[in-house]
Structure 1
Amino acid sequence: MFFRQSIFTILACLGVSTGAFADSTSVRIGGDTFFAGSAVSETVNTGGDTFIAARSAVARGSTQGDMHVAGFDISVDADTAQDLYAAGATVVVRGSTAQDLTVAGFSVRTEETAETGGNARLFGNTLTIDGPINGALLATASDVILNAPIGGDVRIVARTISFGPDAVVDGLLTYSTEDRISVPDRVAPQGRVVFQQYSGSEAWDDWDEFREDMPVLPTLASMMFGFVISLLFFLVLGALMLGFMPRRLRALRRSIAAAPGQSMLLGVIGLSVLFGMAPITALTIVGLPFVPIALLLIVVAWILGYALGAYSVAMRIWSGFGGAENPSNVARLAIFAAAITFIALLNFIPFVGWVANYTLILLGIGAMTRALFHYLIGNSGEAFDIDMKPIDD
């Protein structure tokens, strides 16, 4: 389960970043199908699970397994034979889901054709529910518009709740708002309506209570668990990079080995540009909605830079000790895992661990910055003057 969630998270980060893939890319692994790119519009017909990550994603057709979609602007018109998971800024679901539906976004809408056979969990700022749900519904948002029949229980936490003409709740309707609202009898009789008052301050009270119960220092078990989860995450990331873009990864690694000092300098420049994007974008006023994207780019670049730096240094040490120049992918992942483990141990040494981690990040981001500069200005290679002759001293 963690493996698939990690792949979905990584593809989401790569898909939202507009420079991750210039064109749509697809790959099939173990019966699962993966699509990624800046803009993906696919008619899927897959037997296993389907993963889609892009800035703009449109999915049509059908899948016999689960469907996972992440991006900025999402439209799911495909029919899903099992569960559907979608996350984005704007999410519209038009296809049917045989089992459970889980959607998160700023604006989320299910059309009348989006029938859900199981339970639905919807989260966002504005939720519009027109698609019928045979199971239970959990909805959390600022504004919820319910205009569909619900076969099971309903739990809604929102600032405002509206009921359309097609809204019918067959189970227990529990809603939480600041003030009690009037629920029409056609939606649910009063005997099956429960009101639980909720205010924004309660969230802070819950957080304070949770924070007071937290231990001051993490236990050894929690630290080991966090390390294992992080290691698995980076191994999945490394496997994806080796599978999707082996040549590009090799070129980035060799650029670090050829000029580490220049890579660090370019890393400082690239990181400065990324951190400057957020305030500069906010100052334009019209760019305020894109500030979260700028922050996400920083996180993505930080993670990718750390992984690339660790992998490049590890491979350089490997070759320095006489290792094969082009080992197998399994050997590369083993070397990468050893590097991540060693760096994690360095974190127990004050100051040294921080310097090592930050150096790797600068190396990785510097290599990506160099590749981006070459892409933007072109890299025609070396130019030779045929009339040039050697000069004798």
Structure 2
Amino acid sequence: MPGIILTFLALFVFALPATATAELVENGGDTFFSGKVLSETISTGGDTFMSARSVSARGAAQGDLHVHGFDVSVNADVAEDLYALGATVVVRGAVASDLTAAGFSVRTERGAATAGNVRLAGNSVTIEGPVAGALTVAGRDVILNAAVEGDMQVLAGSISFGPDAVVGGTLTYRSGDKISVPERVAPAGRVVFERFTAVRGWDDLKDMREDMPVLPTFASAFLSFVISLLFFVVLGALMLGFMPRRLENLRRHVASAPGQAMLLGVLGLSVLFGIVPITALTIIGLPFVPVAVLCIVLAWTLGYALGAYSVAMHLWRALGGQDAPGNALRLAVFAAAICLIALLNFIPFVGWVANYTLVLLGIGAMTKALFLFLLGNPGQALDVDMKPVED
């Protein structure tokens, strides 16, 4: 539930104008804040949603408080639940119900007393605010320096305890190595250690998968193949129906210069993958990283389909087929190519090379078309007598 709410928050507030001043929207008792930088003293009656590159919340929220940003600082008292997500999350205010937070660095300070349960996840997690309920933590480095009245569950690479650390219930920790838990934190009778390794995690995942109802292996593989085949046939039908000329031009790019298409495919794919870290490094572009990843998936899928179609039509003509077959025959040839490529996947290494080659050919053709569009097409070259120049 918190993840759904935070996702909705991010989609909603980033759709609002990102200005230097805070944007405020109220609807049905809920209050939404957005902007590049938010430093707000809130006094809201219902649920409150805040999202920006940097968020600092003060005051009090009578309902739930949802905060999303790169740097998140919550110094507001929350009458119900608090949800916080960011690269750096610091909680300083009191929470009357539950607290859920995730980030690269997560910290609750001494004033962040939580009356309910606390769930935290991050690379570095520090708990200094007292917890009246149960505490659940997952992180690489976890530091507890507060009183926890209920049970504590922790999964971490390293766990340490400060002078104020006390666990009133059962302390269960999962880590690679057993540690010495001080008696003042929890007596040995209330400490449970479970060794956790990557192999153990994989075994747990397999056990969970085995408990789930699934189709037999062959039936599952066949069903996946049928669904994939239908997807590509529908995609091919849409392309042939709505953009036949452009599709034919792209196919000609591949057929006329396959080597050039592969080189351009490497270039285009490199640019697409390079967009992800570059977008993330701008910080402002972090919300658009999923869009960049989606573009990679979309380009990969379209490139694979275009490459398969181009190679299939080239082989069709080489085997004596019609130069300009109808759309139904084109789809049939395309479907046959998809089936043949699926069979190649059963051959180690060969199937991977074939699939990747098709992706490079298709993306290369699209890259060339994009370059021609951006640079402009000068048209047919003419000599001084206004006659076409032969290649």
Normalising by the residue count of structure 2, what TM-score does the alignment of the two structures yield?
A: 0.56
Q: Deviations over 1:131-169 (max 9, x none)?
A: 111111001111100000111111111110000011011
Q: Deviations over 1:241-262 (max 9, x none)?
A: xxxxxxxxxxxxxxxxxxxx9x
SS where residue 135 of structure 1 aligns? coil
Which residue type is aligned with residue 105 of structure 1? Answer: G
Q: Deviations over 1:88-120 (max 9, x none)?
A: 111000000011000111110000110001110
Q: Where in structure 2 are the equivalents of 1:78-97 lying within 5 Å?
A: 78-97=76-95
Cα deviation for residue 10 of structure 1 reads 3.3
Cα deviation for residue 216 of structure 1 reads 5.0
1:215 matched to which residue of 2?
Answer: 214
1:136 matched to which residue of 2?
Answer: 134
Would you say the 8 A contact 1:14–1:20 is kept in 2? Answer: no
Q: Where in structure 2 are the equivalents of 1:340-355 lying within 5 Å?
A: none
**Would the alpha carbon gap of residues 151 and 55 (structure 1) be closer, same or farther in structure 2, given more than 3 Å must change?**
same
1:298 matched to which residue of 2?
Answer: 292
Q: 1:22 aligns with which of 19, 22, 35?
A: 19
**Would the alpha carbon gap of residues 97 and 281 (structure 1) be closer, same or farther in structure 2, given more than 3 Å must change?**
same
Which residue type is aligned with residue 116 of structure 1? Answer: T
2:274 matched to which residue of 1?
Answer: 279
Q: Deviations over 1:15-69 (max 9, x none)?
A: 579x951242111111111111221111100011101111111111001111011
Aligned equivalents of 2:44 and 2:167: distance in 1?
Answer: 34
1:189 and 2:173 aligned:
no
1:164 matched to which residue of 2?
Answer: 162
Q: Deviations over 1:306-341 (max 9, x none)?
A: xxxxxxxxxxxxxxxxxxxxxxxxxxxxxxxxxxxx
2:120 matched to which residue of 1?
Answer: 122
Aligned equivalents of 2:28 and 2:160: distance in 1?
Answer: 44
1:345 matched to which residue of 2?
Answer: none
Would you say the 8 A contact 1:133–1:148 is kept in 2? Answer: yes
1:146 matched to which residue of 2?
Answer: 144
Which residue type is aligned with residue 25 of structure 1? Answer: E
Q: Where in structure 2 are the equivalents of 1:221-236 lying within 5 Å?
A: none
Normalising by the residue count of structure 1, what TM-score does the alignment of the two structures yield?
A: 0.56
Larger Rg: 2
SS where residue 54 of structure 1 aligns? strand
**Would the alpha carbon gap of residues 300 and 87 (structure 1) be closer, same or farther in structure 2, given more than 3 Å must change?**
farther
**What is the RMSD of the two structures over their aligned residues, measured on CA atoms?**
3.8
Aligned equivalents of 1:142 and 1:208: distance in 2?
Answer: 23
**Would the alpha carbon gap of residues 112 and 181 (structure 1) be closer, same or farther in structure 2, given more than 3 Å must change?**
same
Which residue type is aligned with residue 18 of structure 2? Answer: F
**Would the alpha carbon gap of residues 301 and 88 (structure 1) be closer, same or farther in structure 2, given more than 3 Å must change?**
farther
SS where residue 7 of structure 2 aligns? helix
Aligned equivalents of 1:273 and 1:118: distance in 2?
Answer: 51
Greater alpha carbon shift after TM alignment, 22-31 vs 130-139: 22-31
SS where residue 205 of structure 1 aligns? helix
Aligned equivalents of 1:202 and 1:188: distance in 2?
Answer: 26
Aligned equivalents of 2:268 and 2:117: distance in 1?
Answer: 44
**Would the alpha carbon gap of residues 289 and 200 (structure 1) be closer, same or farther in structure 2, given more than 3 Å must change?**
farther
Consecutive unaligned residues of structure 2, counting only runs of 5 or more, are 221-242, 247-266, 297-333, 336-391
2:10 matched to which residue of 1?
Answer: 12
Would you say the 8 A contact 2:13–2:33 is kept in 1? Answer: no
1:361 matched to which residue of 2?
Answer: none
2:153 matched to which residue of 1?
Answer: 155
Aligned equivalents of 2:125 and 2:76: distance in 1?
Answer: 20
Cα deviation for residue 281 of structure 1 reads 6.5
Would you say the 8 A contact 2:275–2:292 is kept in 1? Answer: no
SS where residue 196 of structure 1 aligns? strand
**Would the alpha carbon gap of residues 129 and 277 (structure 1) be closer, same or farther in structure 2, given more than 3 Å must change?**
farther
Cα deviation for residue 210 of structure 1 reads 3.7
Amino-acid identity (%): 50
Would you say the 8 A contact 2:272–2:292 is kept in 1? Answer: no
Cα deviation for residue 282 of structure 1 reads 4.4
Aligned equivalents of 1:9 and 1:59: distance in 2?
Answer: 19
**Would the alpha carbon gap of residues 133 and 7 (structure 1) be closer, same or farther in structure 2, given more than 3 Å must change?**
closer
Q: How many residues align?
A: 252
SS where residue 35 of structure 2 aligns? strand
